[in-house]
Amino acid sequence: VERHWHAKVEAILVRKGRLSLELNLEEHVLAEGDIGIFNSGELHQIEGQGPDTVHDVLLFDPYILDFSYPDEWQEEKIGPFLDHRLRLAAILRPSDPGYEQVYDPLVRLLETGLDQKAGWYIQCELCLLEWFAALAEMGYLLPDREQSGAELRKVERYKTVVSYIEEHYGG
């Protein structure tokens, strides 16, 4: 998947093989069991490192997490996440603390979405909330990372150029 960005949050679970992952122009490698997460607006691309690479992708609008009732969870976790004051950790590996607590609801979410049995949509929403809660509880909901001005400018410059080309020369 070529470099791109979008308003949705994207999570990738590597089932088999390895993936090359680029996040905001930084290179990473994901192995079997690793989870890569792209927050809203982050520049990213992925590429399998062989023909046997298998991965699942979850793509969701972060506003599906939003509550209209201003409770503690909304004010301390979801609101700051939607306002980009908090972000999800970029990479989780099986050796990381709390990995199983994050992995299990993600797998249930992916399987429920693929099965699409009766009531699947609300079950997916519940699994998504459970996954988000596990990420927060395990310390993977973090203050928005402090990138250097040069790093931010490089990513923004890339996005500006690509947007201009797509707007004026896209087909």
pLDDT exceeding 90 applies to what percent of the chain?
71
pLDDT in tens, 81-134: 999 899 999 999 999 999 999 999 999 999 999 999 999 999 999 999 999 999
Q: What is the per-residue pLDDT for 158?
A: 66
Are 50 and 18 in contact by the 8 Å Cβ rule? The answer is yes
Output b/e per residue, 42-73; b: 16+ Cβ within 10 A: bbbebebeeeebebbebebebeebeeeeeeeb
pLDDT in tens, 28-79: 999 999 999 999 999 899 999 988 999 999 999 999 999 888 899 999 999 9
